[in-house]
Amino acid sequence: MKRLSALILTGVFGAALLHLPLAASSATLPASNASEIATSYTDLVTQFYKKVDPQRVLDSVHASLETTLKHDGVKATLRPMHASELTQANVRAIDLAVENAQHLAGKKATATELTYAAITGIMQSVHDRWTVFLSPKEYADLNQGLDGTDFGGTGIVIQVDPVTKYITVSNVVPDAPADKAGIEQDDLITAIDGISTKGWSINRASAHLRGKEGTKVTVTILRDGKTLAPITLTRAKIHQQSVFEKMLPGDIGYVAVSVFGKDTADELTTALDRLQKRGAKAFIMDLRDNGGGYLDAAVGVSSKFISSGPIVSVESRASNITTLEANDTAIAPVPLAVLVNQYTASASEITSGAIQDSGVGTIIGVKTFGKGVVQTIYPLGDGSAVKITTARYLTPLNRDINHRGITPDITVQENKHPRFGDPKDDVQLSRALSFINDRLVHLNPPATPASGSSSGSPR
């Protein structure tokens, strides 16, 4: 998803229904509300990737307004609207319907509430699950989910160790206080501020590790069976990560990508660099449960493994096709496996499809979600927005995976209650490790002893 911004009847009295013509409205729609309606209508009919029927739009607005009135306890029916060939006339008809609904509702509904209902109806008219109106809170939540949040903390990503029941370090945010203090992946945090963490939940531990920037917290670390001296950390501003890395047995780097946000490609670059410095010979990228994100983030992530050529083709209205190419940031070729499941969708399918079509990696898991369309977000003046499906995408080999998904090269069903990232309790990851190890053996076969020589060590 690529975001646009500054940078994406006559009255029947005594009965259950009251019928009033649009002209009976005495309310005047605020200019800001009228502007949002006009923008939303125009964006939909001009940018939606299929032709839009104006009459269906007006009918949908009518139904949405009546539903809102009913929800607010207003028993009324609005006069149906009739579409014109002129956009301005249709927008004015919607404005009048909102004004009339406001007149009927009185103090039971605001102009903004009814404007939102109208815009919701505009978006619902095309019967596309991805084309929706976003309230200011929904839009802010969407951006927060994609771009992450900032908070005061130590930079430790934690899990509960299933054996000891202590808190374990699953990842350390680069350059965060924990990283600078030498805390490492797989360390056990046995105490926080002198209190044992045995049996703690992740939420309880997070509440103790997070806090106001500049405050201190002391952790006790158990590493390789030895308890280290308590480490006091000064909390700092931490940005929520979308990429997490760890080194798996056999020097195989593992990177889990949770979402395709604005910083994801840069975070992946950092993660791969850290793993390469630790001697990673191959990589496993985990895209399971990744519902997607920004289109340019998918191109950036794919470009870390694909050195050149197409990543994705975007086909918009009127069959206009734009092909996005790799951006020349790829690492040196090494064995690569990509984990996917039924919740791998949208931008993560773009990356999976590009890697599969280019042959630089092997897809392992189960068939992906099958969301092969692209949305553009158009912000509105009050912090709300409309999200509209503006194009469909095709993989480098021109595959349309919408409603079809991507079929893995190696199908492996997910085990019950897996712990993603833990080969001992993650069947799909275990299979990926086996595949990568086989590839490494094939690429680097063991030396064959010379004829007549002994393979034993000197004694």
The DSSP output letter for 214 is T
The DSSP output letter for 241 is P
Task: Please state, in angstroms and rounded to a whole number, the distance separating the CA atoms of residues 170 and 61.
Answer: 49
The DSSP output letter for 162 is T
Q: What are phi and psi of 203, to 5 degrees?
A: -60, -40
The pTM of the full predicted model, rounded to 2 decimals, is 0.82
Active site residue 409: no
Among 258, 346, 348, 358, the active-site one is: 346
- Asked whether 241 and 157 are in contact (CB, 8 A), the reply is yes
* Chain segment 101-133, per-residue pLDDT in tens: 999 998 899 999 999 999 999 999 999 999 999
Active site residue 216: no
Q: In the CATH hierarchy, which fold is given to the domain comprising 243-443?
A: 2-enoyl-CoA Hydratase; Chain A, domain 1 (3.90.226)
Task: Please state, in angstroms and rounded to a whole number, the distance separating the CA atoms of residues 27 and 98.
Answer: 9
Dihedral sign of CA atoms 125, 127, 128, 129 in order: positive
Residue 138: count of CB within 10 angstroms of its CB: 14
- Among 163, 255, 153, smallest CA distance to 213 is for 153
CATH architecture of 151-239: Roll (2.30)
Helical residues (DSSP H) of 148-242, grouped into ranges? 177-180, 202-209
Active site residue 161: no
Residue 86: count of CB within 10 angstroms of its CB: 10
Map out the domains of the chain as residue ranges.
Answer: 9-127, 151-239, 243-443
Task: Please state, in angstroms and rounded to a whole number, the distance separating the CA atoms of residues 415 and 161.
Answer: 19
- Asked whether 90 and 42 are in contact (CB, 8 A), the reply is no
Q: What is the pLDDT tens value at each position of the chain, 459 positions in all?
A: 333 332 232 222 222 222 333 333 445 889 999 999 999 999 999 999 999 999 999 999 999 999 999 999 998 889 999 999 999 999 999 999 999 999 999 889 999 999 999 999 999 999 999 999 999 999 999 998 888 888 999 999 898 988 899 999 988 888 899 999 999 988 999 999 999 999 999 999 999 999 999 999 999 999 999 999 999 999 999 988 999 999 999 999 999 999 999 999 999 999 999 999 999 999 999 999 999 999 999 999 999 999 999 999 999 887 889 999 999 999 999 999 999 999 999 999 999 999 999 999 999 999 999 999 999 999 999 999 999 999 999 999 999 999 999 999 999 999 998 889 889 999 999 999 999 999 999 888 776 655 543 333 333
Task: Please state, in angstroms and rounded to a whole number, the distance separating the CA atoms of residues 203 and 199.
Answer: 12
The DSSP output letter for 189 is E
Among 357, 384, 387, 426, the active-site one is: 357
Q: Is 159 exposed, middle or buried (0-12, 13-18, 19+ CB in 10 A)?
A: middle
Helix (H, G, I), strand (E, B) or coil at 176: coil
The single residue listed with the structure tokens 């992530």 is 301
